[in-house]
Structure formats: C-alpha cells, structure tokens
Homo-oligomer: A and B are copies of this chain.
C-alpha cells in the first residue's frame, strides 16, 4: 500500500511517517520504480505502536526505546515497566504542576469582583514585587 493508506490505517499522518523514517524511528520501506514508498501490514502495525506511545505522552526518543524493547524478545518485562513508571511519574509531575497553576489562578480569580470596576487582585498579584524571594 502507498503512504496515504498507511497513514489512514495507522492514524499517523503521511508527513509524520516520512519524518519518522528520516530520523530512523522506523525503517525505510521498499520503493516502487517511481520512488513511491510501499508499506506492508506489519509497517502499519509498527506505526500504530508509535501512535499509541505518542498518545500516552512518550517522546519520540522514548518511543524509539519502546520499539527496541518490543522487538527484543529477550528483554525482561522489568525493563519495560521501569521505563513506563518513570514516564508515569513525569506525567503526574507535569499534571500536578499545571494543577498548581490552575489552583493559584483560580484562587486569585475568586477574589476578583469580575464586574465593571477596574480593581483586580489578579493583575495586582502579577504586578507585585519580589520575583521569588521575599523582600524587594
């Protein structure tokens, strides 16, 4: 099949498929005489694997490692689990960070009248002195 069909079937855009090939994340497929890339079902399978890893927030480099582990029949499941759990901690840390920002802002907004008056604790906070340390 051509790249368009592989894209549709895998959920990875043709643009990205070419890119993944260029960085060596996936193997270069065979070509027709006219240089068209030709994919097999197994390639689509790999692309879906990549898609799933990306959807779960793994970087392309991490995805590269995951593919290697996937291909390596002799790897221990502990290796995979270790990588996965490290990523879980990353994700949770980032989520917590975003949540903290949201909470701070929500708190500031709660004290903002939100009416026609100009006074606003949100901007007042932003404009307050002290970068991080206390004491200007």
Contact = CB atoms under 8 A, between A and B. Distances in A.
Interface of A: 9-11, 45, 48-49, 51-53, 55-57, 66, 69-70, 73-78, 80-82, 84-85, 87-88, 91-92, 94-96, 98-99, 101-102, 104-106, 108-109, 112-120, 122-123, 125-132
A66 B126 contact: yes
Contacts of A112: 77, 80-81, 84
B48 A98 contact: no
Contact of A81 (B10, B82, B109, B125): B109
A9 B125 CA distance: 17
Contacts of A82: 114
Given A73-B118, A118-B75, A131-B48, A91 B101 contact: yes
By secondary structure, the A interface counts as helix
26 contacts: A10-B131, A48-B130, A49-B127, A52-B126, A52-B128, A56-B101, A66-B123, A73-B118, A74-B118, A75-B118, A76-B117, A76-B118, A77-B112, A77-B114, A77-B118, A77-B119, A78-B115, A80-B120, A80-B123, A81-B113, A81-B120, A84-B108, A85-B109, A87-B105, A91-B105, A92-B102
A77 B11 contact: no
Number of copies: 2
